[in-house]
Chain A
Amino acid sequence: MSYFIIRILMTLAFVSANATAQDYEYDLPIKEHIFENGLKLLVIERPGDTRVAAKIWTDMGALNEISGEYGSAHFLEHLMFKGTPTLGAKDWQTEKLLIDEINATEKTMIAELNRARNDFRERGVFHDYKHKQTTPELTRLQKHIDDLERKVEGLTDEGITMKWYQGFGGTRLTASTEQEYMHFDIELPVNRIDIFFRIEADRMTNAIFRKFDAERMILVEQRIGFLNRLNSRYLETMEALVGRTSNVYNPEGYMTDFKNYTRQYERYLYDTYFIPNNTTLVLIGGVTMDEMILKVEKYFGGLERKPEPTRYYGQEPLPSGEKRLIYRDNKLSPRVELRYQIPGVGHPDKPYFDVIKEVMLNRLQKTLDDKEIGGNVNVNTMVVHTNNYGLPSSIHFAALYEDTEKLDASEEAMLAEIELLSEENISNEELKFAQKTLRTEWYRAAADPNRLNFHIGHFEVMDSWKTLKPYLETRDRTTVEDVRRLVKQYFIPDNRSIGTVIPKRASQ
């Protein structure tokens, strides 16, 4: 049954059939349809494809988290794999009573935690002092929740969403949460797309947070897996140096955050953001928009538009001073790294920085080699796990070495090379090569419906899918003057953070 009327007249964005050579390069025949309840559907029709890459995007992520609960958006993604009353319940009537009791018990726990909050406050720099670790009441309540969870376990069918996706021939089943988004993904045979709508409409509306405490430990596992990498702590420290207020720079939860997650807060995030008017479906494959409108209506039509969620409007203060990190680690390669804040996607300057990144990647290595400083040069814009943000982030120039001997000379040479960009003309050849590299990277992404889907959805949550094509075209139009202008404006000492990795002294 449908509770809404489809708005027929919607934007249909086509690339002209008489495509020019330039159009061919960024062929994005995206069709858009917005339903009455605010749900957005984006489709690229590829007649003849036997499969369809499907993703559901929610405009929320780590940007919406609060300090002390970093990673809670990512945790919500995990919880949303735990089923619904109609997915995974063997006896929902009985299970519901248990879940209600778990939630009520947690509320009592939160009250107890609040009552004794000064006892549990972590007061040490190295997390080494609290007045108390627990209270008898907290211990009793946690045991009660554990007992209830065990009873729930016997009433549920694990892995239910994955199971049915796989049973319908689904592949590349995954999900991801970053600063600005959460998405769930699947590729399916075209004639089985219904299972995507069936599961996702249910998941975004009726999720039950089963196995909450067991799943919490998966995040711990993922976190320690990340920390096992030699450079993880350095990168997080460097990211924290660059930004001051923006959640762009926060990791997916510190170890001290995981224990703080509550069902109550996760439910708040879920109820606030998982609403049709904050959701975009993106489909690429052998489907048509007309057919998909009918199917989406069938499965999502009953969802009501909800009040608009509170958005993140945080803004980084103006960069106002050069910052320096000295990081001591014996296992990490010595390095020097320069970071500058750059604008987010949606800002007209952002595409030019992709070109600057490529130009500098080639230039820096050559310069350091010519000066016999060598090193392994890297230029990138990766913050946490992501290259692009709709908020300011940073561009990084790094050179890694086997020892510390050349670090000072390397820093001096890199600063000089960046300075040169604002004075010396970049050759046409350099610029064209950078642009070719970026185009080729884009083609490789666009060749894969799954990756293309990601870029479209990502742009939609960062800015708008409509700005993706202009973004790519702007990179191709970048001139030497554009580069010089931006280097002069952005690569200034007050916008700079410098990181140096050196070994610990013997006594440390």
Chain B
Amino acid sequence: MFPLGAQVLGQELIHPRDMEIPKSKFKRPDPAKYQVSLDNGLVAYVAKEDRVPLVSLSAFIRVGKIDGHKEGAAEVLAEAFLNSGPKNMSPTAFKAALKRMTARYSVILHNKWTEINLNVPTEDLEEAFKLLSAIVKSPNITEANIKAATEKAIKEIEVNKNGVIIDGSNSVAVRKFHDIILKDNILGKKLVSSDFEGLSIHDVERFYIAYAMAGNMTIAVSGDINEEVIQKKLKVQFSGLIDKTPPNHKNVPIIKYQKNKHHYFPADKLQTWVVIGQPLDQVLFKDEAAFEVMNYILAGGHFWTRMFIETRDKYGLTNDASGYIEDQWDGSGSYSFHTSSRHDVTKQLHDNIMDVIYGIQKGLVSDEELMIAQNALADGVYEMKFTDGNALARSFAIEKLRYGNHDRSKSYPMRIRSVTKEDILRVANDYMHPEAFQVIVVGEYTNLQ
């Protein structure tokens, strides 16, 4: 007991280390209970979640930026999904329908897949279901989509006449990082106006037809629904999708490592943004869990990481310093650390980040670090993926699209809990290569060498 007076004496102040951590009662829901398979090969996940009268509808298609023979086709298709809607209505009518339903609607184009998300009140389920299925089955690709996609794709980071970035930010630094490490790789392709000049509506339609196959997408429906009714609707609306094998997805060449280098981009702001990172070889299945635990301890995007403590908590150098794994679905991606600071401490911030990176490559993590990370991932992050009907329908649909089954989510807690301190040390050295780090500085020049 600590001599702090009566106030403390009246409290239960057992140290958390000495508290019992009850075994989690969570069990991942059985995906088979939610799965609906149509004869054409389309798989959907239907989950009731009726606390509020809302419904979420999502389509996940395995086609992304890198696919197709014509550059820009994926970008235009995404633009059509987002702004034009289906062929059976005008873009104006499509926008009006979304507004009338008070819908939340988004289309996200990833490198290797695309997601379409629609959330509406239950009273609009009928209309929303037809709308989403019509968008997926027959998107209204227009010249306006090509124009809009062109403008987005060729938008450059603005600089003034002295070459200084006008609106520096973390996203600018990350974009520069990608430009550097993905140079000459398909993941880093830079579209130019001429890509779109040679692109016709017909080209984009061919691209769409090639990939929008029943077996190349999954659907998630959740919310205040009657599951049986939804199953019937799925059959009515999606049975017409063709069951054909899509073209082979492009192989992404291994991203080449480059010799460690610092890249400076001046920006006129009160802070300097720093991205430190490298290409990341495809993490082998046997190493996935260890790599995730290693990143959690090192810099995993939450408050208690080595990087956060050694930059923010102890020295007040930054508001955030965190690690980001860019996983590119069956191929190499990147691993980077993002931070920002007032100009005068950028050097110290950089050095502290490098120190913790070298540190995790040199010695074993502690038992407590390992236990905390394993519990956080296996009982926290994992549970949240299935915390309600909306979350589980989405998680299962994406997992099925990516892996074709649900083995990974089933074995995740076991794999996380099997990670040893030695595993972490090994993956920290196998996958992290400071000698290949590219260091991007957006802001005021600081000699970081």
A166 near B316 with CB under 8 A, answer: no
Distance in angstroms between the alpha carbons of A168 and B376 in the assembled complex: 7
A436–B121 Cα distance when bound, in Å, is: 9
Complex Cα distance, B439 from A479, in Å, reads 59
Contacts A191-B24, A299-B12, A443-B53 known; list 19 others, CB within 8 Å: A24-B53, A27-B51, A50-B26, A85-B8, A86-B2, A159-B309, A164-B17, A167-B371, A187-B384, A189-B379, A191-B22, A191-B25, A192-B21, A217-B317, A218-B312, A221-B316, A303-B11, A439-B121, A447-B52
Looking across the interface, which residue of chain A has its beta carbon closest to that of B27?
A50
How many whole Å from A149's CB to the nearest CB in chain B? 10
8 Å CB contact of B11 from A164, A202, A214: A202
Total interface residues on B, using CB and 8 Å? 66
Closest chain A CB from B97 CB (angstroms): 13
List the B residue with the shortest CB-CB distance to A438: B102
Determine the chain B residues whose CB is within 8 A of the CB of A166 once the complex forms.
Answer: 302-304, 372-373, 375-376, 380
**CA separation between A170 and B100, bound complex, in Å?**
39
Do B54 and A443 touch across chains, with their CB atoms under 8 A apart? yes
Q: Using Cβ atoms and an 8 Å threshold, which residues of chain B touch A191?
A: 22, 24-25
Verify B304–A163 contact, CB threshold 8 A.
Answer: yes
| Max chain B Cβ within 10 angstroms of own Cβ: one of A191, A213, A227 | A191
Assembly CA distance A201 to B16 (angstroms): 13
CA distance A188 to B104 in the complex (A): 28
B16 contacts A299, C-beta separation under 8 Å: no
CB pair B25 A162 closer than 8 Å:
no
Are A25 and B53 also in contact (CB < 8 A) when A221-B319, A228-B169, A437-B102 are? yes
* With A169-B375, A213-B316: A221-B342 Cβ-Cβ less than 8 Å: yes
Report yes or no: B384 in contact with A171, Cβ–Cβ below 8 A. Answer: yes
Query: Counting CB contacts under 8 A, is B308 at the interface?
Result: yes
Question: Which residues does chain A contribute within 8 Å of B17, judged by CB atoms?
Answer: 164
Are A195 and B8 in contact, CB atoms less than 8 angstroms apart? no
Interface residues of B in 30-83 (CB under 8 A from A): 49, 51-54
Asked whether A206 lies within 8 Å of B342 as measured between CB atoms, the reply is no
Is B4 among interface residues, defined by CB-CB distance under 8 A?
A: yes
Q: Which residues of B contact A221 (CB under 8 A)?
A: 271, 316, 318-319, 340-342
A199 interface hit (Cβ, 8 Å):
yes
Indicate whether B166 reaches chain A with its CB closer than 8 angstroms.
yes
**Contacting pair A218 B319 (CB below 8 A):** yes
Q: Which chain B residues lie closer than 8 Å to A189 at the CB level?
A: 22, 24-26, 379, 383
What residues on A are CB-neighbors of B381 within 8 Å? 171
Q: How far is the CA of A162 from the CA of B53 in the complex (A)?
A: 35
Interface, chain A (partner B; CB < 8 A): 1, 3, 24-25, 27, 50-51, 81, 85-87, 92, 153, 158-159, 162-164, 166-171, 173, 187, 189-192, 194-195, 198-199, 201-202, 205-206, 211, 213-218, 220-222, 224-225, 227-228, 230, 298-304, 331, 433, 436-437, 439-440, 443-444, 446-447
CB distance A86 to B380 under 8 Å?
Answer: no
Q: In the complex, what residues of A have CB within 8 A of residue B340's CB?
A: 221, 225
Q: List 6 A-B contacts (CB under 8 A).
A: A158-B309, A159-B308, A167-B376, A227-B270, A228-B169, A440-B120
Nearest residue (CB) in B for A218 is B316
Known contacts A189-B379, A227-B270, A440-B54, A298 near B316 by CB under 8 Å: no
Which B-chain residue is minimally distant from A205 (CB atoms)?
Answer: B7
Q: Are A173 and B303 in contact (CB under 8 A)?
A: yes
Bound together, the chains give a CA A216 to CA B372 distance in angstroms of 28
Residue of A nearest to B312 (CB): A218
Q: Which residues of A contact B49 (CB under 8 A)?
A: 447
Measured between C-beta atoms, what is the minimum distance from B98 to chain A in Å? 12
- The answer to the question of B143 belonging to the interface, with a C-beta cut-off of 8 Å to chain A, is no
How near does chain B come to A34, taking the closest CB pair, in angstroms? 19
Chain A residues with CB under 8 A of B384: 51, 171, 187
> From residue A168, how far is it (CB to closest CB) to chain B in Å?
6
CB of A162 within 8 A of CB of B316, answer: no
Q: Given the complex, which residues of A lie within 8 Å of B315, measured CB to CB?
A: 214
B24: chain A residues within 8 A (beta carbon): 169, 189, 191-192
Docked complex Cα distance between A86 and B2 (Å): 8
Give CA–CA (A162, B315) in the complex, Å: 17
B284 in the interface, Cβ–Cβ < 8 Å?
no
Give complex CA distance A216, B102 in Å. 43
Measured CB to CB, the nearest residue on chain B to A189 is: B24
Give A301 to B378 CA distance when docked, in angstroms: 33
